[in-house]
Amino acid sequence: MRFIVSTSTLLRQLQAVSGALSNSTVLPILENFLFEIKDGNLTISATDLQTSMTTSLTVEAKENGRIAIPSRILLETLKSLPEQPVNFSVDDKTFAIEINAGDGKYKLNGENGEDFPKIPVVENASSVNLPASVLAEAINKTIFAVSNDELRPAMTGVYCQLTTTALTFVATDAHKLVRYRRTDAKAAGTTSFILPKKALTLLKSSLPTDDVNVSVEYNSTSAFFKFGNINLVCRLIDERYPDYEAVIPLNNPNKLSIDRVAFLGSLSRVAIYANKTTHQVRLKINGSELHISSEDIDFANEAHERLSCQYEGEDMEIGFNARFLIEMLKNLSCEEVSLEMSTPNRAGLLLPQGGDENEDVLMLVMPVMLNSYA
């Protein structure tokens, strides 16, 4: 089997799917790319058995065939080569690979492509089309709130609810929760599933910046994403997602409106002086003034800042983990945010003000118990 391809074209396609590679010591073949040539078209696949990615490109080739090529050595070789045609020759019996590029000749051993795991295909799937920008925004707004607790596998992914009126994406780690809803994207029926974090991270990095349509197909076990010449398929998390609606407080009479960037800057500075274990900051609201403070008793560190705000409700003091608030504010792009609260021991809701009328973003953060400093 022989084929010729440009170094930069091949490297770009390999990098697009390399995130799906596995470092499995149990199945060493998963450290390889699968190259399949059929009628001058090269399909490249990478998988860790849970998530698989494929891409295709046109090459100069007279024969069909398949070979598994070690990913690390191939990527490093292509990265160090200048832009030029590169010639691959594969011995179909020994799986030895010879790469000729300019005056260089490189030899490495591949593996039998027939031993590479089969990439799942779509069967009995429903589908929905989403603009790449909508999908990217949904991932960006939710993925940071996904849990890393493997004892609660349902929360290690993003919960997707598809209905005939809206698409909803939810992520939570029990300390914070994000619900991202789009009313301009709809499905033909109603369903829900949990997408794993790795697949979403790969999607986030490979979605095109221009607003192409992404075809999303799903069945009871897997989800398939297609855009451009990239296909990504992932196994769904087979768990029941917690009833997230039940934890969102409905009655929040205390409403604080404030400039997002000013609030974020103030929190970032005050958090430097907070206890390194709890990251606790205290918000004290009096009329139209917000006092943000923190202290670390062990090191006698403390910080205080004052911001002007708009506030409806009773004066109150509430404590939060500064890291959660900072993360949430960084993942919003609006000018003003609203923090809605009921009591110091109930969750607060962070809501963007203004923005896209088709977008509904709700971020929930659990308070922390205030310690006794005045």
Task: Please report, for the chain, the start and end positions of each structural domain, with discontinuous segments joined by +.
Answer: 2-115, 126-245, 249-368
In terms of pLDDT, which residue wins out, 368 or 24?
368
- Identical fold, 126-245 and 249-368: yes
Per DSSP, 315 falls in state -
pLDDT digit string, tens, across residues 253-274 = 999 999 999 999 999 999 999 9
Domain 126-245 has CATH 3.10.150.10: yes
pLDDT in tens, 120-136: 988 888 999 999 999 99
Nearest to 135 by CA among 213, 20, 52, 233: 213
Q: How many CB atoms lie within 10 A of CB 352?
A: 21
| Burial category of 277 from C-beta neighbours within 10 Å (exposed 0-12, middle 13-18, buried 19 and up) | exposed
Give the helix/strand (H/E) hosting 88: strand 85-90
pTM score above 0.85: yes
Tens-place pLDDT, residues 203-262: 999 998 888 999 999 999 999 999 999 999 999 999 999 999 999 999 999 999 999 999
Res 167 pLDDT > 90: yes
CATH number assigned to the domain covering 249-368: 3.10.150.10
Average pLDDT over residues 104-123: 94
> What is the CATH code of the structural domain delimited by 2-115?
3.10.150.10
CA distance 90 to 67: 8
Q: Is 251 exposed, middle or buried (0-12, 13-18, 19+ CB in 10 A)?
A: exposed
